């Protein structure tokens, strides 16, 4: 999953003075023309003009401030999922978030944005707390998960936003504490994703007392579900969001006698993967990008895929589903550098 926003001006023509300023402020670990394909789950993406790994919250805030002062476009990357980076790359400063501190005190869990979500789920369960188990199968970091309100809709309180007490963000030159009820969490969204003005630094969660044995059983269950998804190949995760059911009778007419339809109607969501499968698109390939034969809402990189091929295949899928069923799919993946 990714977090953050792009701001500023095009810097393709900037002088070496900018590089010197960045090195003076961020250190010699700053990289130039770093391929973003190395830092995304899709293994796709051209070079970032400048690239920096923030290992602490202080380094992250400092990098944000430096980019602002130099008027550089800024890209914040979490775990590298749910993003598609242009083949042309990103003409600014890309910051990989690796701050990894966390604490568990009673029922309160505090975690920095760069903490691996799967790792945190295991630690929380081992501490005798419950609520996070459905998130064990979600790739990426705490910050990225909050940005897109990651989770699974089939479970009550199955999204990370259901457990957020507070999110700490960098807003301009100010550190702001945003209460959970003001985070605007919805299906695959949050106020942070909608506005793009805040950069997530850390979060506080209020969980519930649980049973360690039952939590481990749930974790095994959700990990088993993950195995049905094509994580053995590079992908960005789900490409499209599921669709809310607004007219069940219309869907029954469009898909008469289709197995599982009533299950989806009861849930109130029509899975995009099911629609893509119904359109006969599993295995459809353009160049080195393929609609997964395991899970139709995943596009997988067969080896040397390009962002251009992903865009073409996404457009084709949307056109086919729209023409066959009159339903418009909406992307979940976030476009960078287009």
Residues catalogued as catalytic: 188, 238, 332
**Residue 89 near residue 68, CB atoms below 8 Å:** no
Provide the angle, in degrees to the nearest 10, between the axes of the packed helices 16-26 and 57-69. Answer: 160
Q: Distance between CA atoms of 168 and 134, rounded to whole angstroms?
A: 23
> Exposed (0-12), middle (13-18) or buried (19+): which is 256, by Cβ within 10 Å?
exposed
> With contact defined as beta carbons under 8 Å apart, do 48 and 8 qualify?
no
What lies within 8 Å, CB to CB, of 239 at 6+ separation is: 272, 297, 298, 299, 314, 317, 331, 332, 333
List for the chain the helix, strand, coil content (%; round to 5).
35, 25, 40
Query: What angle do the packed helices 117-126 and 212-226 form, to 10 degrees?
Result: 160
CB 289 within 8 A of CB 309: yes
Q: Which of 205, 218, 223, 224 is nearest to 133 (CA)?
A: 218
Name the residue among 78, 81, 94 with its Cα closest to residue 35.
94
Helix residue ranges per DSSP H, the chain:
16-26, 57-69, 117-126, 142-147, 191-195, 212-226, 248-254, 261-267, 272-278, 307-325
What backbone phi and psi angles, to 5 degrees, belong to 179? -60, 150
Backbone φ and ψ of 14, nearest 5°: -70, 155
């Amino acid at each position: 999953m990714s977090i953050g926003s792009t701001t500023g001006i095009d810097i393709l023509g900037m002088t070496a003075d900018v590089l010197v300023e960045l090195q003076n402020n961020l250190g010699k670990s700053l990289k130039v023309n770093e391929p973003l394909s190395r830092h995304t789950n899709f293994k796709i993406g051209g070079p970032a003009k400048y690239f920096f790994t923030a290992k602490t919250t202080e380094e992250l805030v400092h990098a944000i401030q430096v980019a602002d002062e130099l008027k550089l476009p800024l890209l914040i990357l979490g775990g590298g999922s749910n993003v598609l980076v242009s083949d042309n790359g990103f003409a600014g400063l890309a910051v990989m978030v690796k701050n990894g501190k966390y604490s568990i005190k009673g029922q309160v869990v505090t975690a920095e944005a760069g903490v691996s979500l799967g790792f945190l789920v295991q630690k929380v369960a081992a501490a005798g707390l419950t609520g996070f188990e459905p998130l064990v199968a979600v790739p990426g970091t705490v910050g990225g998960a909050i940005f897109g309100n990651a989770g699974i809709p089939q479970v009550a309180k199955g999204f990370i936003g259901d457990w957020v007490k507070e999110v700490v963000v960098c807003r301009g030159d100010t550190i702001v504490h945003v209460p959970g009820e003001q985070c605007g969490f919805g299906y695959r969204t949050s106020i942070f994703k909608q506005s793009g003005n805040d950069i997530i630094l850390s979060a506080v969660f209020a969980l519930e007392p649980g049973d360690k044995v039952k939590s481990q059983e749930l974790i095994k269950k959700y990990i088993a579900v993950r195995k049905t998804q094509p994580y053995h190949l590079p992908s960005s995760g789900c490409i499209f969001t599921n669709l809310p059911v607004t007219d069940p009778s219309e869907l029954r007419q469009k898909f008469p006698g289709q197995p599982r339809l009533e299950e989806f109607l009861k849930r109130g969501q029509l899975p995009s993967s099911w629609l893509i499968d119904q359109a006969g698109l599993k295995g459809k390939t353009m160049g080195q990008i393929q609609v997964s034969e395991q899970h139709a809402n995943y596009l997988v990189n067969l080896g040397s895929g390009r962002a251009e091929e992903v865009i073409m295949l996404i457009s084709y899928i949307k056109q086919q589903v729209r023409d066959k069923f009159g339903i418009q799919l909406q992307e979940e993946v976030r476009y960078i550098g287009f």
